[in-house]
Structure 1
Amino acid sequence: MNAQWAIAVRKPGVLRAGMLVWLALVYMALWGDLSIGNLLAGLVIGAIILYALPLPRIPVNGRLHLRSFVELFVASVYYALESSFQIAWYAVRPGPPPVSGVLRVGLATRSDLVLVLCTDLLNLIPGTMVLEIDRPRCVVYVHVLDVGSDQAVEKFYLVTRRLERLLISTFEREVAR
């Protein structure tokens, strides 16, 4: 399976067709109507977007590791749900709002792909927002909702390290477990 995915990604036509189908599906989801007309309109608009706004090539060294991908998906969903419940609790609980702050995270990756995916995952977790990326030093500055205790700060760093490790093992190279 890994070799087939690697071959498909190296063929630009296959990748562009996949992006076109994805854009058409997003278009249909936004309209909330699964019809042939919306599919055709989504394909036309997706083709215009792909032609007018081409994405730069990102060099990727490695292959997709399915086991790590599944673990990454499950961990990301878990952290997003956990944070959502935490924010809901902060909204209804009596007392002062949590102490928020900006934390600096040094990432171990040198891959642009893993750096972007890691910042995207951090932005998807409620209560966090990446404010700045220092690419030459591979450092991100993240606003975190709860930094009121050492345990909360340590937990944020542990979650970030785990997501980064899973991204590296999924998209780049084998990581010893």
Structure 2
Amino acid sequence: MSARATRRRVATQVWRQLPFFVWLVALWMLLWGQFTIVAFVTGVVAAVFVTRVFRLPPVELSGRVNLWWGLVFVIQFAVALVRGSLTVALQVLDFRRLPGTAIIAVPLRVDDDLIMTHTGVTASLIPGSLIVDADRDRRILYLHVIGVRSDRDVERQRQSVLKWEERIIRAVGSKAQVERVASARAGGVS
């Protein structure tokens, strides 16, 4: 392999990993609650350290971001946060009965680590559910949910997670993933 081809390959890898590097710097600044030059510089140092010491395989991004579906995701996520918080608060304050709980398995529709991670994080951030395990090979998320009293409630929770997966795919998934979710939805397959 020529030196020119090697430089091109390295440059391509750097550009592919740039969004994750930027995310690490932003996360560092958010963790410290400071948006200053010092926080930025220390975030860059921390991101370089993390990306060099903990070498992870590169994650392939779809290269597609749909701003409309991204906005839909953000708005629906904010609504779900408020609704989940109120629901959990009401369940805690209802002394007449204990909220039912369950561990449910949710088989995801697409085979993508990044989509699975985003779906799991989203499901865990909404009050009332928490990811307890993820089976990467079979693409199954296991959630602990509260407020479950029947099989119908379990199925509603499962469909809710699948809906979050669909929203994430529509916002950042590849065209093939969008088509797969759309065909599964049209065929009534979840």
Alignment CA distance shift 1:73-1:32 (3 Å)? closer
RMSD over aligned Cα atoms:
2.5
- Rate the CA distance shift 1:140–1:20 in 2: closer, same or farther, 3 A: closer
Q: Equivalent pairs: percent with the same residue?
A: 24
For 1:28 and 1:167, locate their aligned partners in 2 and report how far apart those are by CA, in whole Å.
Answer: 25
Structure 2 unaligned spans of 5+: 1-10
Q: How does 1:34-53 map to 2 (within 5 A)?
A: 34-53=35-54
> Runs of 5+ in structure 1 lacking a partner?
1-9
The amino acid of 1:32's aligned partner reads G
In structure 2, the CA distance between the partners of 1:60 and 1:42, relative to structure 1 (3 Å rule), is: closer
Distance 2:130 2:111 in 1: 21
* TM score, norm. by length of structure 2: 0.74
SS of the residue aligned with 2:92? helix
C-alpha distance in structure 1 between counterparts of 2:59 and 2:34, whole Å: 34
Residues 128 and 146 in structure 2, CA contact (< 8 A), matched pair in contact too: yes
In the superposition, relative to structure 1, how do residues 44 and 71 fare at CA in structure 2: closer, same or farther (>3 Å)?
same
Q: What TM-score, normalized by structure 1, do the two folds share?
A: 0.79
Which residue matches 1:25?
26
In structure 1, what is the equivalent of residue 149 of structure 2?
A: 148
Structure 1 segment 1-177 matched on structure 2, within 5 A: 11-61=12-62, 63-170=64-171, 171-173=173-175, 174-175=178-179, 176=182
Provide the secondary structure at the position in 2 that maps to 1:148: coil
For the 8 Å contact 2:104–2:158, the answer to whether it is kept is no
Cα displacement string for residues 65-101 of structure 1 (whole angstroms, at most 9, x for unaligned residues)? 2222222222222222211111111222222320101
* Contact kept in structure 1, 2:91 and 2:147, CA below 8 Å: no
When residues 66 and 129 of structure 1 are mapped into structure 2, their CA distance, relative to the original with a 3 A threshold, is same
Give the letter aligned to residue 135 of structure 1. Answer: R
